[in-house]
Amino acid sequence: MEQPPIDLIRPFDSDKMKAWRVDRRINNVKINEPSLDQPIQDDAPIPEKPKRVEKPQRKTKSENSGQLGMFG
């Protein structure tokens, strides 16, 4: 016998739910390690955030040459 669709939208029993802290790197789509969803200890050191790569600075007007230099 199939379940009626209304059973699919009932709230899940909160007594059956579990929650735990995970590595904050789980929010980065570039990192795909299976261990990221494993529980971490509350006293575990928090990994450092990756350092931002600085973008190259734009050339100043005097460094631009040619006609396009008039629009920078």
Model confidence pLDDT, tens digit, residues 42-59 = 765 666 666 777 777 776
Is there a domain that residue 24 lies in?
yes
Is there a domain that residue 35 lies in?
yes
Question: Residue 50 to residues 14, 59, 72: CA-CA distances in angstroms?
Answer: 36, 27, 32
pLDDT of residue 62: 58
pLDDT of residue 30: 92
Contact 40, 21 (CB under 8 A): yes
pLDDT of residue 17: 92
pLDDT of residue 16: 94
Residues of the chain with pLDDT under 70: 1, 3, 43-50, 59-72
Contact 71, 59 (CB under 8 A): no
Is there a domain that residue 29 lies in?
yes
pLDDT of residue 45: 64
Is there a domain that residue 65 lies in?
no
Is there a domain that residue 47 lies in?
no
